[in-house]
Amino acid sequence: MSPITTKYDIVREIMNTETENDTPKQLQGAFGNKGSSLTSVSFSHPYAEDIIGRAKELLAESEAGRALIRAQELKKAPIHVLKGNGESGYNPQSKVIYVPISGKKDKLDAKTFILFIKAFRALEQEYMGLETPDPGMEVMKYAGRLHAKNVDCIIYACKVVSEMSSSEVFPNLLDAIETFGYIKLYKGYESKASLDELYDIYSKG
């Protein structure tokens, strides 16, 4: 990965490593048939299996979503659905995708689906060269990397939702995008804003 000097360089590095229709060669070579079983799923949430199944069904409705599924299956990364609230993500130490959802919910909703997209993308980032930064690195560089990873996940979520415009769940997904505060980024993505413009939208909240 080439030296990064500005926040825009960081975002360009991420987004220029775009997932293509075929699984990236990095994933093919790095993973092969290795990894834990695809059935290695934590059922901490009582409805985890149904929620994961529905999330994958929806991801499969878009090309961008199918690319995320391919990456997860090649890596054989377990998916942990946890009872609780908060942000989703990927833990590179345990190599686990985690998604929190209220224990009172018995099915996938639009907001949780957005969290699934971001968590799957976080897994993909690790094998695109955008690893989770070391907390011991210089503070501004550390913060820049975290923000770059986050904005990339959000933009990718916008991409998946945009590709699902003909889906019956599209209105609910747009509502979720707005609830999370991502609607300006979504509109920017739809209007084909540049990466610099998208980062500015993100920076301004």
pLDDT single digits (tens) 140-187? 999 999 999 999 999 999 999 999 999 999 999 999 999 999 999 999
For 61, 119, 165, the CA distances from 171, given in Å and listed in that order, are: 15, 22, 8
pTM above 0.85, yes or no: no
Q: What average pLDDT score do residues 90-104 get?
A: 94
- The pLDDT value given to residue 60: 98
Residues sharing a CB contact under 8 Å with residue 102, sequence separation 6 or more, in sequence order: 83, 84, 85
Question: E strand or H helix at 101, and its extent?
Answer: strand 96-101
Is residue 5 exposed (0-12), middle (13-18) or buried (19+ Cβ within 10 Å)?
Answer: exposed
Confidence of residue 133 (pLDDT cuts 50, 70, 90): confident
Task: Tell whether the model's pLDDT for residue 138 goes beyond 60.
Answer: yes
